[in-house]
Every structure is written in structure tokens, then in C-alpha cells.
Structure 1
Amino acid sequence: MPSPLPLALSDTIVALSTPSGAGAIAVIRLSGPDAIPIADAVFAGRRLRDQATHTLHFGTIRDGDQILDEVVVSLFRGPNSYTREDVVEISCHGSRYIVQQLLALLVRRGARLAEAGEFTKRAFLHGAFDLTQAEAVADLIASDSALSHRVAMQQMRGGFAQELRNLRARLVQFAALLELELDFGEEDVEFADRTGLVKLLQEVQTLVQRLLRSFELGNVIKNGVTTVIAGKPNAGKSTLLNALLNEDRAIVSAIAGTTRDMIEDEVTIDDIRFRFVDTAGLRDTTDVVESIGVERTKQRVQQAAFVLYLFDLTSTSPAEVQAEIEALEVPRHVPVLAIGNKLDVASDDEIAAFQRLPNTVLIAASRGDGLDELREILLQRVRGEGLDQIGSSTIVTNLRHARSLETTQAALHAVLAGLSHGTGTELLAADLRHALAALGEITGEISSDDLLTSIFTQFCIGK
């Protein structure tokens, strides 16, 4: 006799799967052992329990004698459904009132409202896909560029998971031999070839390092490039922001200190999403509000992925620009691009003083001169050679995955160090188990309820 389902999976859940608010249609999704009986109890049309899977049926939803709406019902019988359970989707008119009435009716008939991400969580628990693929579903929904869409699709189709499984499988064989040695510890035998293990660990380390290096690129693709525009008052920062966004997002004024807080907005340049941050002008001031803005500018620079330091070509020397950039204390790993503004009114000598300097671009933000060159340099700096990997190599985009890979790397390093120092088999086996556990956490082969809750509560309710 099969064991009963866990309490949560024995429930039938319901939720709105389309965005809330008025629209042409809305889709309400039911999933669970009683999805079809509950839908049958309120649907006036063909009896759903007698219909084949993957079929559509027109009819009405009734609450007693009252007709709530004319609907189309989609029927998916498990395991051939998204959740691997019986699923019924009700496509109704997108009135908020109708949606609320239908949800309330279905709950009264025995369903319960789904938790965030519970449909995808059930698909994972039923073995439809692993945890990396489940997380890729959320990434796919959130994708807002061709690149983020491509990476999410690759992960959802199992490319990353397969690479991890291959890594794990190579380590499991040696781990099993080490465990076998522990069983025969009194006989002082070695089943695992130490030379072969070192070679394998070095190869796996190389692969893990490549995956970790890809996270920097993956994070850019998924979350965008936070680009801080810094500089003195009246350098033209707000004008540059408006020009890059192609809209009047920030107030432009000849009065120094107009921008007292940060203004942020996003724009996609050739499939790369940039989040530009216009900041308060950097200067010593007695104005309390402005001084807070200056301090926030310095803090934001520490969090940036890219810094654009804007200066006025007509009133600044190369030495002053260098000193001002150094005063910002930009983190070493963050690239800084100096941008000379007001090219249209600068003299030939002023322009010549900066043309020979590296990492410097000259523009006229108010007219758009030099902006194409600036965009191209931004793209080149962000891309490097990394974007060529997309489609041919796995790219890590998830911070959780990166942290687990770091744990794996540290554990493998400990095994290699132990082998070189003649550490006992018991400690080697423990470190190798640690590495395997970290890899298993990524795909969900090893998971905790807290981990699953943390992941799936980030989903929308109807997914």
C-alpha cells in the first residue's frame, strides 16, 4: 500500500496565475488530487472527470443557481501537467470582482489558496525538474532582455544541472572508495588511487573555478550593471543621465547642488541592462540636506559595478580629475571611466589636454556628441570576452549557486591539501562528503525545508 502524501501535497491549491487587476482575461489555476472534482462541482458544461487530458471545454461557472461567468476550462491530468498533479485552469473574464468570486467559490468547495511559488514547488517535489531548473522559471519570468532570457532558458532546460551532475558523479566514485577504505580500516588497505584522485580533484577544481568566474558575467546579465555617475556640481551629470535614458528624468539647472539625492533609472543597451544612478555633486557644503546627498554619493560608489566620473572640460585640469577620482576611493575591482563634458564649448587646448589620457571620453551631453562612443566603451568593458560563452558554456546567475560553488571549492582544496600532507582517510572522506553535499544543495538532491521555503517564496503566488 503506497504511503500517504505529505499534508501539503494532499491539499488541492488554487491561485490567480495571471497578473492581478482588470484585463481581458484572467486564468485561475487549480492543482491537486481534488482539482477535477472541485472544478466539476461548479462548472456547467461537459463533465470534466470523463474528459481526456489536454482538452478545452466551454461552459459557465455557477454558484448554486447564479451564473458567475462564461469560461473556458483547460484540463491536464497528472502526471502530464506542470505540477505532475491533476490541474484545471479556468480562463474567465478579467474583472477583479469575477476573479474574487471564483476564488472564494473554489475555496468553499475544498481548495485552499496557494502559497507563493507552490505550483513550481510541487513540480520540483514530484520530480518534474531539479532546483536549478525551478529557480530558472522565476528568472525566465523576470527576464527583460534577450540575454537574460537566453541564460534562463538554458538553465531551465537543464544545462547547468547536467554539468553539476557530471561533476558530482566523478567525485562520488572516489568518495565511495574512500568510504570502503574506512570499512577496512584495520587492514590498512587503499582502494582509491591517490594519484588518480589528485588529478580528478584538480580537473574538478578547474571546472568549479570556471563556473565561479562566470558568475560575475551572469550577475550582470540577470541584475544589470549599476553605473554611478559622479562628479562636481554643474558638471552635467543630470544632463548625461537624461541623454542616456533619452528622457527628462532628472532636473537640469545652472544652480549648483540641484541634485541632492540619487536618481536611478534603467536602460537596455544592446541587450545589456544598465542601471544609471545620478548622484549629488561632490563638494564641501554647509547645507545639511546637500551634505547628506554627498555622503550618499560616496556610499553608492562603493556599491557600484561601474563609475562614470564626469568633469567640466572648460574648468578642470587632468591633475585635478585624477585627484578627484582618487578622493572617491573607488574599490579596486570597479572600473572608472573619466568623462569630459561640454566638448561643444571647450577650447582646442582644453580638448587636447585630455585627448591623450587613457580611460577618458569627451562628450557634449546637451547635444549628444560622443554618447555613441561612450555606450560602446561601456559595452566593451562589461562584455569583455564573456558574452561569447552564452549558448556554448554554462553561466552562473544565482548567488545561492555561487555560494555553494565556493563551499565546494574550499572543500576540494582541503582534500587536495590533505592528500599532499598524508592526512588520514577519515578526514579526506569527510571533506569530500562536504564537497558533494554543497554540489547537491544546488540541484536540490540535498535540501532542507528552510532552503526550499526561501527559494519558492520569491515566486509569484500563481506560479
Structure 2
Amino acid sequence: MISQETIVALASPSGAGAIAVIRLSGKEALSIAEQVFQSVSGKSISKQKTHTIHLGHIIDDGKVFDQVLLSIFINPHSYTGEDVVEISCHGSTYIQQQIIQLLLRKGCRMAQAGEFTLRAFLNGKLDLSQAEAVADLISSDNEASHQIAMQQMRGGFSNEIAKLREELLNFASLIELELDFAEEDVEFADRTQFSDLLNRIEFVLKRLIDSFAVGNVIKNGIPVAIVGEPNVGKSTLLNALLNEERAIVSEIAGTTRDTIEDELVIGGIGFRFIDTAGIRETKDVVESIGIKKTFEKIEHAQVVVYLLDGSWMMEDGSHNIKKVQIEAEKIKNQFPLKPLIIIANKSDKLSSSQISNLKSEIPSILLLSAKEKIGIDDLKTQLLSFVNTGALRNNETIVTNTRHYDSLLKALEEIQKVKFGLQSNLSSDLMAIDIKQALYYFGEITGEVTNDELLGNIFANFCIGK
């Protein structure tokens, strides 16, 4: 149920700044704002058109708080679908608090987390998946996550789901009609067309479900574990990638005893690099804990970078190369689903014949010098190749939300039950049950089916002013 109270909150980030924006929404937004705003033109703001901006002062009992710009959005032509007023004041925290406290005294209530967007959903301005995309857009920190959030907020995902739901609902209505004429044994729903629709729905659902693997890592960043023996240059590589001295580098083996993480955007995709402790046999208790953490990080990484000292590899010719091949095979066997990049560091110390020999023995090996920053771009290109960005370029729908993913899986299960029932000549009343359940899960995504607990969980993660 939509609250009738007028709510207020700071819509810009908290803290001091050049400008701050205070937002009001609700039935009394205009009348409350008029009590505290005095236009320089002398106009009454309650009589002004929607989407207009007015210069004036915030005044109470003759005391002037600030000179502001006041923006008016009259329902239903506003973000929330209600009357909305936005006050752009100077960004002093004192001014912000004084104006908000004044508005509270005049009858506003402080908005709860996500309440403006919740009202937009309840007033039909956004469906639930679009509302969730608003939060994703705010938290996006790279080009790819921003592009996905924008596409979903514009309704790309929900439109696709709504179209499938509507077609399925039409067939469900015809099957329900058949039940009313069960004694006459007539069919209103064309079974061939129904089968084609189910196949199409199944195809789209599978595509959306498969896209979650890409969408999830794009949204949260792709974790990359940098592993290898001590003193092969893992910390130097991390520093070279980030272009800053993030990790301590020394000639002493075992300097890195804990994992160090930092993020980098490559080609619009976020990567989270994890510099791990060197893997070796050690009696040092602290270093042993770090090595244990290394294997835990590999377990959770999406990509493993296995770094080696190129000059060491060529010291004993084929013997050391063989050892590398054996170790790399162990990592592949232990983590078969993770892409593995084998890198020979310190390649600037190798001769052209040594490089040629190394590449002939391990064709997939990548040569670089972290210290001299040679080959870093090649590594970035290879990392980017592991991400399926084709869907982004083609503007396809990509699922990033775990709740949507779960509902899609359940909807697919019900559609497959309907398909089996159709192929088995199951009675219409039994098929209707599975169709209704599929429609239910479609409705969960866009918000046709919802409850207070679900809405509370979703909007509690929003910032207060949104």
C-alpha cells in the first residue's frame, strides 16, 4: 500500500560539496515547499507548471537559510508518480541539515532507504526489474556494468519477459476455456502453435540463464589469482598492472605473506587482481597460513595467472621446463573449469634462442617483464578474451541479478513440465497448473507477483535519497 505521507531526504551524496539536492515527494510536497520557499519573482510555486525551475530563498520566521533553485515535477510526470520538489542548495552540511529539519517540522517524514524508487514502482512508473536496475546503475563502476544497468532500466529485460508472459497467458486462457467445455471435448488452443511457443520460451529462458555467468562477473568484477613460487615477481606484476606501488616488492623470498587485492578496469570490464603468497614448502607458521589462503583464493578466482621466473626456467634447459609443465598440469587438474594463463616473467633476461625454445616447448606461454612493463598489454588482451563481450556489443539482454536468475530457472522447469505434458497428451487441467506456475515466476521478475517481505529486502539495499 502506498503511504500518503510526504517524504524528504538528501538526494545527493552526504557531506560538504558545491551543491546539495534535497528531494520531497508526496501529496503535500508543493504546499510544504511553498511554506518555506520565497521566489524572487514573487510567484506562488503551487500555481507553476511541471518541470519548471525557480530561483528563491528558503525562509522561516524571517530567517534566510540559503538562496536555492527549486524544481517542480507535478504528478504523474515525475520519478515517483507523485508531486515531487527538488531543492538545489549550497552544499554546506549545516545548510543541508537546517533545510531538512525545517521541512520535517512543516510536516514531512524522513524517507526510508529506496522509498522514492519504491513509490515509483507502486505507482507504475517502473516495474520491479527496472527498479532493481536503478540500484545497479548507481553502483556501476565500469563501462560494462553501466551498460547492462542502463539496458535493464530502460526495460530491455522486462519487455522480453513481459512479451513471453503475455503470449503464454493467451494460451493459458484458451486452455482454461477448454476446461469449461470439457464435456464437449473441444480444443480452443492450437497444440502445434502452443508447442512452437513453448520451444521459443524455452530457448529464450536458456539464453537468459546462460547470460548470468557473464553478467554476474561483469557486475561484481572478475577475480584473477596471481600464483607462483616466491620471488618470481607476482607483486611486481600486480604493481605493473595497477600502475602504482600497491604491493611490497623485495628480493627476500616470502615477502608477501597475505593476499593483496585491487581492481582494474580493462576494456570496460572490471577485474579484481589478487596477489597471493608464494607457493613453496616452508616451516614458517605465518607464511604457511598465507600459502593456505593462496589455494582458497584460487578456489574462488575466475582466472588463474601462473607466474614463473623465465630466467630460472632456462637455467637447466628442458628439465626446468618439464617441471613447469607438470605443475601447470596439476593446477589444471585441480581447477579444470578455470582458465589458466602461464606467464614467464623476466623475459628481458632471455636471449632470442631461449625465447624460441621456450615457446616451442610451451606454445601457450606468455612472455613479459613486469619490472620493465613489457608485455603487460598482451596480458590484458588475453584476460579480456575470457569475457564474452559479444552480448554487450549486440545489446543483448544479460542477467546480473541473482533473484532474476532463480526465477528464470524455476520458470524454465515449469515450461519443461508443460512441454512434457503436451507431448504426453496430458489433460488440460493438469497442464494448466504448470502454466500458472510458470506465469507466477515470470510475474515475480517484473513485480506482477510480489509481497511486502520481497519489496523490503530489495529496497533496503538502496541509498536513502533514491
TM-score above 0.5, yes or no = yes
- Give the match for residue 183 of structure 1: 180
**Deviation of 1:176 (Å):** 1.5
- Give the match for residue 362 of structure 1: 367
Q: C-alpha separation between the residues in 1 aligned to 2:270 and 2:295?
A: 23
Q: C-alpha separation between the residues in 2 aligned to 1:282 and 1:382?
A: 28
**Are the counterparts in 1 of residues 391 and 397 from structure 2 also a CA contact under 8 Å?**
no
**Are the counterparts in 2 of residues 26 and 92 from structure 1 also a CA contact under 8 Å?**
yes
**SS class of match (2:386):** helix
Q: Are positions 1:373 and 2:374 aligned together?
A: no
Structure 1 residues 166-205: aligned runs within 5 Å: 166-205=163-202
Q: C-alpha separation between the residues in 2 aligned to 1:318 and 1:388?
A: 40
- Give the match for residue 34 of structure 1: 28
- Give the match for residue 110 of structure 1: 107
- Give the match for residue 3 of structure 1: none
- Give the match for residue 454 of structure 1: 457
**SS class of match (2:87):** strand
Structure 1 residues 208-227: aligned runs within 5 Å: 208-227=205-224
- Give the match for residue 394 of structure 1: 397
**Deviation of 1:304 (Å):** 1.3
Q: C-alpha separation between the residues in 2 aligned to 1:399 and 1:116?
A: 21
Q: C-alpha separation between the residues in 1 aligned to 2:108 and 2:325?
A: 65
**Deviation of 1:99 (Å):** 1.0
Give the letter for the 2:347 counterpart: L
Q: After superposing the two structures, state which structure 1 stretch, 92-101 or 13-22, moved more.
A: 92-101
Structure 1 residues 280-429: aligned runs within 5 Å: 280-316=277-313, 317-328=320-331, 330-346=334-350, 350-356=354-360, 357-383=362-388, 385-389=390-394, 391=395, 393-429=396-432
**Are the counterparts in 2 of residues 217 and 386 from structure 1 also a CA contact under 8 Å?**
no
**SS class of match (1:9):** coil
Q: After superposing the two structures, state which structure 1 stretch, 209-218 or 85-94, moved more.
A: 209-218
**Are the counterparts in 2 of residues 318 and 353 from structure 1 also a CA contact under 8 Å?**
no
**Deviation of 1:376 (Å):** 1.3
**Deviation of 1:326 (Å):** 4.4
Closer, same or farther in 2 for the Cα pair 1:71/1:305, shift >3 Å?
same
Give the letter for the 1:369 counterpart: I
**Deviation of 1:358 (Å):** 4.1
Q: C-alpha separation between the residues in 2 aligned to 1:228 and 1:124?
A: 41
Q: Are positions 1:43 and 2:37 aligned together?
A: yes
Give the letter for the 2:20 counterpart: A
Q: C-alpha separation between the residues in 2 aligned to 1:449 and 1:128?
A: 18
Q: After superposing the two structures, state which structure 1 stretch, 107-116 or 396-405, moved more.
A: 396-405
**Are the counterparts in 2 of residues 182 and 426 from structure 1 also a CA contact under 8 Å?**
yes
Closer, same or farther in 2 for the Cα pair 1:282/1:168, shift >3 Å?
same
2:15 pairs with one of 17, 21, 46: 21
Q: Are positions 1:11 and 2:15 aligned together?
A: no
Q: After superposing the two structures, state which structure 1 stretch, 87-96 or 49-58, moved more.
A: 49-58
Q: C-alpha separation between the residues in 2 aligned to 1:41 and 1:23?
A: 26
- Give the match for residue 57 of structure 1: 54
Paired residues in the alignment total 455
For residues 27-63 of structure 1, the C-alpha deviation after alignment (integer angstroms, 9 at most, x for no partner) is 1000001111111122233432222222222222223
**SS class of match (2:348):** coil
Q: C-alpha separation between the residues in 2 aligned to 1:280 and 1:403?
A: 36
For residues 303-333 of structure 1, the C-alpha deviation after alignment (integer angstroms, 9 at most, x for no partner) is 1111111112233433323433444465433
Closer, same or farther in 2 for the Cα pair 1:440/1:330, shift >3 Å?
farther
Q: C-alpha separation between the residues in 2 aligned to 1:450 and 1:322?
A: 53
Q: Are positions 1:254 and 2:251 aligned together?
A: yes
**Are the counterparts in 2 of residues 117 and 460 from structure 1 also a CA contact under 8 Å?**
yes
**Deviation of 1:147 (Å):** 2.8
Closer, same or farther in 2 for the Cα pair 1:371/1:74, shift >3 Å?
same
Q: Are positions 1:444 and 2:447 aligned together?
A: yes
Give the letter for the 1:84 counterpart: G
For residues 369-399 of structure 1, the C-alpha deviation after alignment (integer angstroms, 9 at most, x for no partner) is 211211111112223644432x2x2222222
- Give the match for residue 435 of structure 1: 438
Q: Are positions 1:71 and 2:68 aligned together?
A: yes
Q: C-alpha separation between the residues in 1 aligned to 2:390 and 2:123?
A: 39
Give the letter for the 1:119 counterpart: F
Q: C-alpha separation between the residues in 2 aligned to 1:361 and 1:119?
A: 51
Q: C-alpha separation between the residues in 2 aligned to 1:426 and 1:298?
A: 53
**SS class of match (2:31):** helix
- RMSD after superposition: 2.0
**Deviation of 1:144 (Å):** 2.6
Give the letter for the 2:404 counterpart: H
**Are the counterparts in 2 of residues 313 and 350 from structure 1 also a CA contact under 8 Å?**
no
For residues 9-33 of structure 1, the C-alpha deviation after alignment (integer angstroms, 9 at most, x for no partner) is 2011100000111111101000001
Q: C-alpha separation between the residues in 1 aligned to 2:99 and 2:326?
A: 65
Q: After superposing the two structures, state which structure 1 stretch, 79-88 or 356-365, moved more.
A: 356-365
**Deviation of 1:188 (Å):** 4.1
Q: C-alpha separation between the residues in 2 aligned to 1:11 and 1:270?
A: 46
Give the letter for the 1:104 counterpart: Q
**Deviation of 1:361 (Å):** 0.7
